[in-house]
Amino acid sequence: MTKDQLIAYSLAFEGETSQIQRALLRNEPYQPVKAVLNVITILDDAYPESLRNLAQPPYVLYYKGNLSLLKEPAVAVVGSREMIPYAKAMTDRFVGPLSQQRVIVSGLAKGIDAQAHINGLQGRSTIAVLGCGIDHVYPK
């Protein structure tokens, strides 16, 4: 397994771990991708240990921003897309102070995820995680 191989399979199979794994096992042919910026693979030292230890870790991470945040103490915040006033108040109450000591990690959905990032930006920083490409709206 090589970094070029992982990136090529990741793009060809749109990050589908099971398809990438099958291609690796079969050592399927691939076209190396010439210019891919802001990418790390499970083979890289910068790849987060917390992800490496998952049962099915993503083989490739595409990023924009400060990669060193992956090494910082972090807390994940998830919640409903339909945020009621109470949920907003509780997110502000807990995430605001946490953001002074931890990087806030959340999705890029509306609702609680968005509110967590708003609070995180007032503290150390945030990391937005997408389970699919930025060009895929999920769920629709």
Three-state secondary structure string covering 66-86: CHHHHHCCEEECCCCCCCCHH
The pTM of the full predicted model, rounded to 2 decimals, is 0.76
For the chain, give the percent of residues with pLDDT over 90.
Answer: 51
Q: What distance lies between CA 41 and its chain's CA centroid?
A: 12
Band of residue 64 on the pLDDT scale cut at 50, 70, 90: confident
Q: What does the pLDDT average to over 37-54?
A: 89
In tens, the pLDDT along 69-94 reads 888 899 999 888 898 999 999 999 99
Band of residue 139 on the pLDDT scale cut at 50, 70, 90: low
Pick 139 or 31 by higher pLDDT: 31
Three-state secondary structure string covering the chain: CCHHHHHHHHHHCCCCHHHHHHHHHHCCCCCCCCCCCCEEECCCCCCCHHHHCCCCCCCEEECCCCHHHHHCCEEECCCCCCCCHHHHHHHHHHHHHHCCCCEEEECCCCCHHHHHHHHHCCCCCEEECCCCCCCCCCCC
Domain boundaries, the chain: 3-62, 72-128
Write the single-letter amino acid at 58: P
